[in-house]
Structure formats: C-alpha cells, structure tokens
Structure 1
C-alpha cells in the first residue's frame, strides 16, 4: 500500500515528452478536461480584454453623404452599395445639396455620417479650424471638370452669335450655379472674379432644377462641377441646342488656383459618329475627394479604398485605368490607414481570407502571438497543478486509512469502533468525484480499504480464538 503522504507520481509519457510543446500537450491531455477548460478560460479572458481595447470588428453600417440626387456623387455611392454589401457592410446614402453640406455633416458628431464626397476647393481655412470631429482624406477618386453649358440661342442673342470662350464674355447672362450648399457656385464665382465677370445671385433649388431651367430657356448658362459619368452631364452633352463652353484661359486659371488643373476634352470624345464636341475643348477641373471622419474604424477605411479602386479605377474621358484613387491630399490630410494602403496595398490576408476574418487576424495578431507564447508554458505548468489537485481528492483519505491501520495494532484496540470507522470511510469514498482518467487512483484506494478490512476481520477472528483455546484444558 502506498504511503498516504507520498507525493503523487509524475504523469507517465514517452521519453523526451517532458520537454517542449509535446510535453505541454501530453501533460494537458493527461490532466483531463479540467486543465483544458482552465487554459481555455485564461485564453478567452485575454481575448475578451483585447477585443474591448483593439475593436477588431467594425460596425456593419456605413452612412455616406452623396450630394444631389442623380449627381456624380450619388452615382458613385450607388455603385459602392453592392460591393460593400458583398463584404457584409450596409451602405446608407444621405442626399445633400453638395460639398459644403457634406463637410458640415462630417464635422457634426451627431449627424451619423461617416464618409462623404467633397469637391476640391470646397474646404476653407475656417473649415480646417472648426470644432467637432476632424475630417481626413482617403485620396482623390475622380476628376471633376467645371462644365459650362450654354444655350445656342442665348449666344446668338447676347453675343452676336459668337461662341464664348472666356468668363468675361458671360456678363449680363443668366447663369445658374446650382444650390447654395453645393460646390459648383463657390468655385465658379472664384474663377469669375478672377476673370472679370461680375458676381450675381443665381441658383437653383437642386442640380436637376438647374438643368431644367437651362433646357427650358429660363437660364442662359449653367455651371456644374461634376464627374463626366454623372447622368446630368451626359444628358446635357446630348441635348440639342445646348453647347459646352471651352475655356480658353484654362491654363491661366489652373496656375492661379492650386486645387485646379487644366485639361482638354478631345474632339469626338462624347460621340465619334456625331463628332461631339467638334473641336478640342480646354477645361479646368478639380478632383473629388473621398473624406471620412478620423474616428472611422481602420478596417472600414481599408474596405472603402478597395471599393473605390473597383469603382473609380476604370478608364474614362480624363483618366487611364488605375489612375484613381490616388493619394492626393491638397486640402485635407491623408488618413494614416489610407497612407498604408497606397504604400503597401490591401492586407495580404484578404487575398486568402474573407474580409472580416482577415481584419480580425490583422488587428489581433499583436495579442494572439503573445497569448500563444504564454499558453505554451502554461500547458506545462497548469496540468501538473491540476493533476496534484485531482489526486489530492483521493490521497487525503489515506491519512484516515493509515490512522485506522495504526489503531488496529494497539493492544487495546476497539475492533467494533475501528470497523465502524472503516465502513464509514468506505462509504465516503464512494462519493469522491474525479475524472475518468483518475478512476484508477480511486479504485486503488477502495482496494486498500478492502485490504485493511480483511486485516481487521483477521484480527477480530484471532482475538476470538485466543479465549476459546484457553478454555479447552480447563474443560478436560
């Protein structure tokens, strides 16, 4: 019978299993489910804390301010929707009057807007120093020319039939510049002031109303800053009686205003068969910026940039395939996550894993690696502790069994009391709870109790035989 105070034997295992990862896994397996549950609990606690601190998963809802309906920004956002939905993000569109309102919504912490399209030249010094959430750029996503459409009959009536090519020639014309909250009006009147055109108050309730006023003759000209893909631009390009003004001083305007660039709409670009336009037209253009609040989750920044690459990376009238998005940040600072994207591309894990899983690993690896490094030693330390604890449930009863055995050797031993103690001990050991892997320890204890019982019965029988032997001579 083993000594009750003897230390528990070490877990058995193959040679060399006491070192390295194999030893930890062997010990963890032999320790039973309790050690495994303990390790999992520690890992779950660490992961929960890391989850709260690192926020590895962003919200699955994104609100973007688009500008007027049927405009270029509205068209862009609608093309974003199915691509983001495929990644589990629901994109909600917020129609606005234009870039001015978009910036205001981004800076309003309670607006619920996370991203917006902003026209170049719309950011003022006052915006840069305003209170509220700061706004950062994800880069330029499209070229936005200043489209100056005019009616042919207005040119015949107001300019003696001469097609205008300078802003100063539009003096006295009824010029619509879109809604007050849009970016077309502020940009046009900046150029008009530099070009000698007096300012006037003329604007529509929305971009669609401005187009209708031009087509119906209620306006002589319309200034519209928008991407070439915008439905309204495409509509006016093919409207009879409406022409596009080529700005002869385009290069001069671009030199004066740093957020502008001079470009050319080549002859026949709109319609080769109809030869529209009939000659190269010089234009000035700004760029559309995809802006976000600084507190937007970095994973959503990455996802927005990848979506922008699919939507804006196609060739167009003024760009080649892959030109957009590009990391230009003339007026708004470039977001750090966007800078990493332009420098290194999308995370390589997203080439092999779904977006959410790749983002989780990318955000959590800084915790997962130290956690793995900590769990390996714990897998060697914790199982022996658990083994000792489980065996102590059995071994502590050996102290009682040895006390009974020692009392049995006393000359004046009370066999009846010792038998009662032994039976009570046997009954108590029936309720010891141990995993199946430790039942051999329990059955060893039960076997040792049985051995002591046999010894006790032998002592009782021996004690009863001694008086009987002493009485036999007297009887004879």
Structure 2
C-alpha cells in the first residue's frame, strides 16, 4: 500500500470510529434510561426461579414417593433440585404447605378447606390421578363368618373387627370416619389401629388384623401385592353412587375384570370402588416458573391411561377443589408458546415473563428516540462550529489592530491544520469546507492589511 493509500485508509477508519462514537454518545441517555428500566423490571419480576424447591411426598415406598422421584428427575433436566420431604401422607403434605415448610405437595380430595386454604394462598396445579379407597380383608374371615358368597360387601360387616385405617398424617382416618358415619358406625364399633401401610399389609397377612383401609394409587407396590394375594380379598363398594352423592369429593370408579392379571383373570369380575382425586398443590409464594415446571412435568407423569382412567384424562383442572393457578391452567389446557420448542427452559421462561416489559419499553422508547438525530447532528456540527470562536477572535484582532501579524498568521495556520484533521460524514462536509473557506478569507484579509511600522495592523 502506497503512503497516500495508507493515509486515505487511516482517514476512513478515523471517520468510522468517530461516527460510531458520536452515535453512542447521542444514544447514551436513551440507552441508560432503557437499560435502567429493564434492570428494574427484571428485579421486580424476578423471572428466573430459585435452583431448589421442596416437594412434600408420602411415606417411602408409596405411590406419592414414586411420583416424587419422577418430578425430581424431570426438574433436574432444567437444573432445578427437588428436595423430597417424606411425610405420613396427604394430611401432612397439606400441613407443610400451610406452614410454608413445603413449596409443592400431593394432597388428595377431601383434605383441603377450600375457603381457608384459598385465603392462605394455596393453589392447585391440576388434578393428577385417582386414589381408590381399598378395603382389604382376610378371605377366611368372610368364610368363617358365613357372609353371602363368602365375601364382605358392606362396611357394616366390619363391626367388631380389627381394622387398620392408616396413620393420622395420611388423611385416611378422616375419610374413613366419614364413611363409617354414613353407615351409622362409630369408631368405638370397630377395633381401629393406625399402622403404616406396609406394617398393616404385613399384619393382615399374619392374621394380626382382620381388615385394612388404604387410599393409594394402584402403582403402589403394596396395593398390587395385596390384590394378587389369594388369602386377601378386596371389598367392593356396591353403593358407590350413593357414597359419591353424600361426599362430593369422592368419585365412582371401577376396577375392570382382569386388569390386575389377565392370565389369572384377576379380578374375576368388575369391582365398583370409590376414589379420591389427588391434586398437586402449591403456595402462591412458590415462584411462577417453578409452578409452570411442575405443571408441565405432570403432563409427562400422569397423562397415560391407567386402571381407572383413559389417556389424557389426567392431569385436568375439572376436579380441583382449590383455584387452579394460571401456570397450571396454561400447561394443561393451553397451547405452549412456539419458542418453547426451540429454546431451553431458562431462555423461554425469561422471554415469556419479560416480553411485555420489553414491548412496553419499545413503545416508550420510540417517541424518546426522536431526540437522537438532533443530538447526533449537534455533536457532529459542534466539531466544526467550535473553531469559529477562535476564527472570530482572530478576525476581531484584525479589525481592531491589536494583534501582531505573524502571531495571527500562526494562529490561522494552526486552525487550518486542525480543520484538516476533522473527520465528519459526507452529509456534513459542506460545513467543514465552509469553515476552511472562511479561514482562507481571513488569511487573505490579514495578508492585505499591513502595519506601517511592521509590528501592528492598520487600515
């Protein structure tokens, strides 16, 4: 590259950098305002969830515990750690939610107080699955008592027997009490105990119990084991429709013939049962993004067909006792945003929660952006116009004859060198050339007006 070409390239680079600087300085106030508002909105909305959340599950080995593991794995993919809180059951889960010791929990129907819990800020993320009421009893007991068909068919036939109704924190004793009351039975009419489900199953097999009332999803290992034990029988609720009319939180379901074991034809006939509907509850203080993640995970956990429901019957928002949060309703009934298929969760969540703010800022910034062109114009023109002050000073000295000729010529030469280093966009070049012409005009006047003594200026 020849020296002239190098000088030309350097001039172009200087012009480009100067233009970029002028643009940044002109847009600076607007960018600072927009950035400040965006930071304030981010702080206020808090779009990114915490990295840890507490999920209240049931006892170890229960269906709740199994589902809890599934949720933990689903949220781990989004780098959210789920702390599983083992409890005695749904009643304990609800107590932890009320106390703020858990963020999310499994709670079966009939446990919540709709008015009080809504006031306390507990919301539903959707109903997840049926939990049938299983009344298992020893088959030989029914035969020994000469029951019709060798089966127990009504709760009144449990009078005087050793019956386990699960632990207090499970919520089963409260539901069992309501069922007994409908049959005009008191707790004192039975020999009740409160063993944990696994202990109750073992005691039933060892003939230390006559019957056990369990409420659990069929995925629990204990339920499947008892259904396949030839020494244990399941009591049907032939009056399930009547029960559901008296206790609206109960649903009527049927255990289909052969669903437990088709080859062995277990059960040998359809069994009418009652079931509660378990919901995933959360606190309103739980971060919205976490509620959204749990609701989305529920779709993967509970949408398949089961013993008592068809595919996509769950999760749903139709059977929730408490208000359904916006996140749960959108995940279950809505259409996921298009960007969720392409962006990672953190980016999609940030976009979803900030797009309104960004849109509002754009609407606000558009009118304010009108000040940018005048600011840019002022900054570019000021690089030219500020030298007019020195030129006017030289001209004033020329007019009044107070300056020395050589000193004024030196100052004009300096002004001329400075203006040749000024870089402005082409659209402003006319003002730069006008300045140079004015400098040249003043020089010509200075050269034409000489002092008779040689040390000053005169007419």
TM-score (norm: length of structure 2): 0.81
Residue of structure 2 in register with 1:344 after alignment = 334
Residue of structure 2 in register with 1:388 after alignment = 378
How far did 1:453 drift? Answer: 9.6
Correspondence list, 1:189-208, <5 A: 189-199=177-187, 200=190, 202-204=192-194, 206-208=196-198
How far did 1:312 drift? Answer: 0.7
Residue of structure 2 in register with 1:170 after alignment = 158
Distance 1:44 1:203, change over 3 A: farther
Residue of structure 2 in register with 1:180 after alignment = 168
Distance 1:296 1:412, change over 3 A: closer
Distance 1:119 1:159, change over 3 A: farther
Distance 1:33 1:445, change over 3 A: farther
Q: Does 1:141 find its partner at 2:141?
A: no
Q: Pick from 62, 84, 98: which aligns with 1:93?
A: 84
Q: Is the 8 A contact 1:306 1:346 kept in 2?
A: no
Q: Secondary structure at the match of 2:78?
A: coil
Distance 1:342 1:180, change over 3 A: same
Residue of structure 1 in register with 2:41 after alignment = 50
Distance 1:203 1:335, change over 3 A: farther
- Larger deviation, residues 446-455 vs 78-87: 446-455
How far did 1:403 drift? Answer: 1.0
Note the residue ranges of structure 1 that are not aligned, 5 or more in a row: 1-27, 468-476
The count of residues paired between Structure 1 and Structure 2 equals: 432
C-alpha separation between the residues in 2 aligned to 1:84 and 1:436?
Answer: 56
Alpha-carbon deviations, 1:81-118, whole Å to 9, x = none?
22222234332211111111111111113x1x111111
Q: Is the 8 A contact 1:178 1:203 kept in 2?
A: yes
TM-score (norm: length of structure 1): 0.78
What CA RMSD, in Å, does the superposition of the two structures yield over aligned residues? 3.6
Q: Secondary structure at the match of 1:287?
A: strand
How far did 1:173 drift? Answer: 1.7
Q: Secondary structure at the match of 2:132?
A: strand
Residue of structure 2 in register with 1:288 after alignment = 278
Note the residue ranges of structure 2 that are not aligned, 5 or more in a row: 1-18
Q: Pick from 353, 360, 363: which aligns with 2:353?
A: 363
Residue of structure 1 in register with 2:297 after alignment = 307
Q: Pick from 97, 104, 107: which aligns with 1:118?
A: 107
Alpha-carbon deviations, 1:156-206, whole Å to 9, x = none?
455579321111111222111111111222112211222244315634453
Q: Secondary structure at the match of 1:202?
A: strand
How far did 1:264 drift? Answer: 1.7
C-alpha separation between the residues in 1 aligned to 2:20 and 2:363?
Answer: 19
Q: Secondary structure at the match of 1:222?
A: strand
C-alpha separation between the residues in 2 aligned to 1:206 and 1:452?
Answer: 106
Q: Pick from 86, 93, 96: which aligns with 1:105?
A: 96
Alpha-carbon deviations, 1:316-361, whole Å to 9, x = none?
1111101001113453223244344555333344244333333333
Distance 1:245 1:393, change over 3 A: same
C-alpha separation between the residues in 1 aligned to 2:435 and 2:252?
Answer: 96
Q: Pick from 396, 412, 431: which aligns with 1:406?
A: 396
